[in-house]
Chain A
Amino acid sequence: MKIARGRNRLTILAGAALGALVLAASAGQAEDMPETPQAEPWAERTTALGASGAMPEGRLSLRALNGLVATGEALFAAQFTSLDGAGRPGATQAIDPTRRKHPRKQAFMRTAGPDGGSCAACHNQPAIGGAGDFVTNVFVSEGFESADFDSLDPQFSNERGTNHLFGAGLVELLAREMSRDLQALRDTTLTEARAKGETVRVALLSKGVEFGFISADADGSVNLDELDGVDTDLVIRPFSHKGVMTSLRQFTVNALNHHHGMQPGERFGARWTGSDDFDGDGISSEVADADVSALVAWQATLKTPERVIPDVSGWPEATALGEALFGELGCATCHRPALPLESLAFADPGPYDMSGTLNDRQVAQSAIYDIALMEWAEALPRDAEGRVLVPLYGDLKRHVMTDNQIDALGNELLSQRFVDRNIFQTTELWGVGSTAPYGHRNDFTTLDEIILAHGGAGRSARDAYESSAAHEKSALIAFLKTLVIVP
């Protein structure tokens, strides 16, 4: 039996929230559909799938955006079922569609996945869209050769804590602008090299963050040996601990397959695999493009974490000292308090994804989610040029995090997507006060421990912290604990 699910099967009343979804079976329903009463509210399937209808296009009004966001939140919270298409007996967790050599019957597998019924099953601390405790760790494996690993031995996978998503839309927008800057620098360097007939070497700099150097030859070649903390195509990939995922859309497509066995058509559909049921679970077209858009819209418009100083005696003073020390000790070298953002217009699909994740060349017109429409966006600080100062406490750059003495963050055996095992993107600290435990494996219970685990590029700041007076260390912790998520 094969069940076809298309977005046309479901309609949604404008503005309806999740609980008010009204479903109607379309006349185009597949003939072999079971006689399941679709409209019954207790139906064991996710009613929000397909609710977005056609792909959104153009600049969305606040009303339209809110509707899409509501659907996105419903999808993020949904407990996907086998009737939705959850499970992937015939496919692995790999980002590139990969068939299993042997089908697996179990719906869930704690290590190789699917390992969650819903996105929110892990992203829930302190609220939906948040981070996750150690128990929500996931196991990152390419999923090509060792699809069925059931061991926690690090030779099979890297164990990763669940990141929070608050402010993620601004993070992606920052990354896009930085990618644009770096690629523009490459282009102008090539032009200069060609004009001069000689090699030209330039520093790569965007928003004050240095990414090493490139050398362009007169023949149009670019030497990439001196890059620092960015991929060779000069695309900033701001998501995941490693900094290897380009966009919320890409990550969403990855995660739907990996964690739930819900396969979006834009990568796992017949165009790229020859089948609309690549995972072989009997459900075709599991996640429509517009479903992914809804999930992206919800994540992209999640409010930013805030700075909340508890009304507790001594905490404000400690915070002030700690913030000063944050700069003086060198923490802010990588954990930059803010990066300037020129535009709050979030295009989805975006400009830097490649085929397999929808991008702006693959659709007639991208949708624009104007984050400025969000009420919370009004409170974002701006600089004299009108740019939003995104208080992320990060630099969207990868750094070596170990050295010969301090190697706690080099506890993996596998590189991930070309990034060596001891290299990680600077963790954005906004929200860190709400997202213990810490570290890429979620195995540091205190902020003090994770600070002292900084080796490599973080070593000097770590040593400065270690040699600070006890009250100064305490003040730094006090400051960090004011960076919280307020749902």
Chain B
Amino acid sequence: MKSAVLSLGLGLFSFACAGPALADPVFTADVPMLEEQAIQAGIDHSYTGPWEYFVGGGAASFDCNGDRLPDLFLAGGASPAQLYVNRSQPEGPLAFDVHETGLAPEDLTRVLGAYPLDIDNDRHTDLVLLRLGRNIVLKGGPDCQFEKANREFSLDGGQAWSTAMSAVWEGANRFPTIAIGNYVDRSAPGTPFGTCEPNQLLRPGQGAEPDYSGAQALEPGYCALSMLFTDWNRSGKPDLRITNDRQYYRGGEEQLWDMRDGRAPRLYSASQGWQRLTIWGMGIAETDFDADGLPEYALTSMGDTKLQKLDDEADENRPTYRDIAFEMGATAQRPYTGGDPKPSTGWHSQFADFNNDTMTDLFIAKGNVQAMPDFAAFDPDNLLLSDFSGTFHEMGDRAGIALDTRGRGAVVEDFNMDGMLDLLVINRENRASLFRNLGAATDWGHRPLGNWVKVELDNGAVNPAAVGALISVRTGTRTQTRRLQVGGGHASGQSGFAHVGLGVSERATIRVQWPDGEWSHPYRVFANQHVRIIRGEANARYWYPSGPVN
């Protein structure tokens, strides 16, 4: 949180002018046209509130009614959170209806973020609401009905100011391990500085029903704003990475917890290779550019975005990272348009292939904390498109997302099932933005982008959505991977189909590493299909949305 005047530490920023801060004319791939149509689509929602809501502003994208279209739960801060059911026609305009959850109004306020996952394996997605005060678990049911399940799951929501979450199925556990990231302890002496609340680790009991009564504190906490269970060293065992806000911690840093099965987590230390990094960490995004099983991470902050890659020169299994943001053109340290030379403020980050050219792009939600004078006031969101050499080019302006809003959480998702990724951005004290991806602009209209495939996994009775699985998609000499994760971003998560751009390939071979580490046989699929891979079945199935194609 950065409400106080920031007078120190500016020297840490890299204000280098190099790097593609401006739209680059040499970018030759398609630039997707992202048309803002939130109001037309029926989404009228703002994230509001005082100081405690300067952070947060998340969204959860998931299917709550069984039609596989991504529905939306949007945090409102001081305003009520809202659930929107997706009514978009296939390949048509985006359309959502507000859906009454039947929950008490007091449970829908003070919500900062939300993450979807199926905690109890009943194939209805549940929601964890991160709140100022008691966190709430909503057990999903048919037709977008929810009921509070804190008692049923023995999950004490606590009274903290919760701002981050991640979950994973550890070992052979029937239910997920959930980590909750907390922010400032407002009741501690001297608050807010140096008073970060410990984070929380909720490991499930071994019974037949979810039981999270055995919560552990993850101490020290350094005011987490994003956390992610991640298999950073392809060991098959995810550890917990946390990005923290240096504005309020004292002596803190970024964190990586060693999650030994069934044992108390331990922080990776400098002697193990973990290097001290202090940033205004807001969001974590994971990708694996070269599909080597060793992921890269984008960390948003004030000023430079960090892009971390495991250092080739470090010893194996040591979490030593080097920052490749500058060499890849991804620092995005100040606004690319509007003329404000001050550094920008990054929040949600997410890797995705926006133009279906097989190259991994990066979206960053940007926006001033509130009215911080040392930071850009007009701070448009970034759309960093990768060229075919792996260099990012800022295309936010050309794509149409350079709005004068204060972005926070976001969801990159294909809302109308046309294979082209759309974008929802939660804005502080402003309406949420919903951008429909129309494809590339031409002098006669818009043309579709490259080919794509979307993959949904069915892992069976336990962890049916296969959280933690790795999807490997092979086309020609190129392999792309997607890890199914719960966590990261800024207070925002999603579940459902994983999207992969295929460029000019009309077919792909998919292999799945299931959450227990077992690799599948290859599945041969054609491009431009929604693919369902059900563990144990010989062939993939295709899925088609309901309704006429526009």
Contacts and interface: CB of A to CB of B under 8 A. Distances in A.
A413 to B, nearest CB: 17
A94 B541 contact: no
B424 to A, nearest CB: 23
A355 B387 contact: no
Contacts, number: 109
A349 B149 CA distance: 55
B79 to A, nearest CB: 34
Contacts of B545: 220
B276 interface: no
Contacts of A98: 476-477
Interface stretch (A22-30, A269-277, A286-294, A301-309): A269-277
A175 to B, nearest CB: 15
Given A222-B541, A356-B503, A356-B504, A96 B528 contact: no
A361 B448 contact: yes
Given A145-B477, A221-B541, A225-B539, A361 B388 contact: no
B439 to A, nearest CB: 9
A231 interface: yes
Given A96-B505, A144-B477, A222-B544, A270 B527 contact: no
Nearest to B391: A274
Contact of A272 (B67, B503, B540): B503
A224 interface: yes
Give the bracket for the number of chain A residues in contact with chain B.
35 or more
Contact of A270 (B28, B442, B450, B539): B28
Nearest to A417: B507
A219 interface: yes
Q: Which among B388, B475, B525, B527 has the greatest number of chain A C-beta atoms within 10 A?
A: B388
Interface in A428-469: none
Nearest to A237: B506
Main secondary structure of the interface of A (DSSP, over half): loop
A220 B525 contact: no
B448 A232 contact: no
B526 interface: yes
Interface in A382-406: none
Contacts of A224: 539-542
A231 B478 CA distance: 23
B398 to A, nearest CB: 15
Give the bracket for the number of chain B residues in contact with chain A.
35 or more
Nearest to A269: B28
A96 B451 CA distance: 12
A225 B539 CA distance: 7
B457 interface: no
A292 to B, nearest CB: 14
Contact of B475 (A96, A190, A194): A96
A249 interface: no
Contacts of A194: 546
A222 B543 contact: yes
A440 B527 CA distance: 27
Given A96-B503, A274-B389, A418 B524 contact: yes
Interface string B437-476: 0000011110111110000000000000000000000011
A187 B478 CA distance: 33
A274 B544 contact: no
A275 B29 CA distance: 10
Contacts of B546: 190, 194, 220
A267 B68 contact: no
Interface string B505-540: 111000000000000000011111100100000111
Contact of A274 (B388, B443, B477): B388
Contacts of B532: 221
A97 interface: yes
Contact of B506 (A221, A222, A270, A354): A354
Contact of B476 (A96, A187, A223, A225): A96
B28 A274 contact: yes
Interface string A203-234: 00000000000000001111111000001110
Interface of B: 28-30, 66-68, 356-357, 387-389, 442-445, 447-451, 475-478, 503-507, 524-529, 532, 538-546
Given A190-B544, A219-B68, 15 more contacts: A94-B476, A96-B503, A96-B504, A96-B505, A98-B477, A144-B476, A187-B544, A194-B546, A220-B68, A220-B546, A233-B542, A246-B506, A272-B357, A272-B450, A355-B451
23 contacts: A96-B504, A96-B505, A98-B476, A219-B66, A220-B546, A221-B541, A221-B542, A222-B541, A224-B542, A232-B524, A232-B526, A232-B540, A233-B542, A267-B504, A273-B388, A274-B29, A275-B28, A355-B356, A355-B450, A356-B504, A362-B447, A364-B443, A418-B524
The 9 lowest CB-CB distance pairs between A and B, nearest first, are A356-B504, A274-B388, A270-B28, A364-B444, A96-B476, A233-B526, A354-B506, A418-B524, A355-B450
